[in-house]
Structure 1
């Protein structure tokens, strides 16, 4: 324990009056000791030892003479504020990345336990075309996906299903005006297309799929029921 009985303003035999500087040093020492017990510096992405043997904080761009000094820095307001800003920026980038509506990989959708441990080739090439039925004037979408590196096209036919906005976890909050068409073909990544959440015509010739085993091309064509929204259907 520090000797405080001879400090200015203290009575004989008393503990003494601790100065502001001393209290701050003791607080930092307590934080450093706590950090030593809880933080693994080997896993700290912001700690870097330079050629001079001193330590740098890549987040705050500060220099530190030793690990203990760096640990004290990590418990301070500047470093904690930097961590908060970095977390907010990464969350914003994640939201922006999730807002793309052309195509997105959904890791958990339509993946079997058997294929989860295998290395994925990547996303298939794709083409999307829009048109209207000349007779019914219904809007039509055609999806063409290419799987050129598939080794056994006869036994690995692509599968598809529709997913509601409330099932997916990529875009938040979910938009009930859209749904997702998922297409899976192992070992390619499962991909999803964001389409309007409107009734789909399941009549003859209105919803057609085709798997070309020679060209390794999967084609799906669908028609939306003209003049009927999803809310009207319910």
Structure 2
């Protein structure tokens, strides 16, 4: 800012600027910044406007009262240094992700169909609770032990959802409860699915009523007298039993 040729100013020194001169210079600087820089708040990942209407830089943790102050910050050393640090960090993370994806190979196997299984309705002689005993024979299993999980309708893939609904509609007359033919949402909420997986066999899905709660421990992977499973490695048979509350 040129302070020469002002009242009481000496050669080689600047006079005292008034508030009006400072405001004029500030407005001029804001116009120059806005003319040379286009501030796009929607596409800038590091800026947001807080509840007070001020701009904040999430990368540098700085606060700015207006757009010109934030534009000046963008051209500063601190912001450029943090951008470089962020770029180096992103490159390291992307490199680690690529290495992890290269190490983990996608498994491929040829399915040989569904295994032989048997479902038996049981009743506990002491508590009189009813439940199911599932026995699956897996003579050609290639993994150490079968896996199982109780899943809801929304956890299944779209293909399996359609297959389950078709199976329920087909066997509706054999079920103990009557269902409304047009109430699809009722079918989604009324059943859950016990899925048992053992490579190279196809997965086995057993439909279980949702309104009947299974009597099992709260802790994960824990067994009890009413909820247990067993894998017989000699006979290649898997047993799963649970009782309803």
Normalising by structure 2, what TM-score?
0.42
Larger helix proportion of the pair: 2
Normalising by structure 1, what TM-score?
0.44
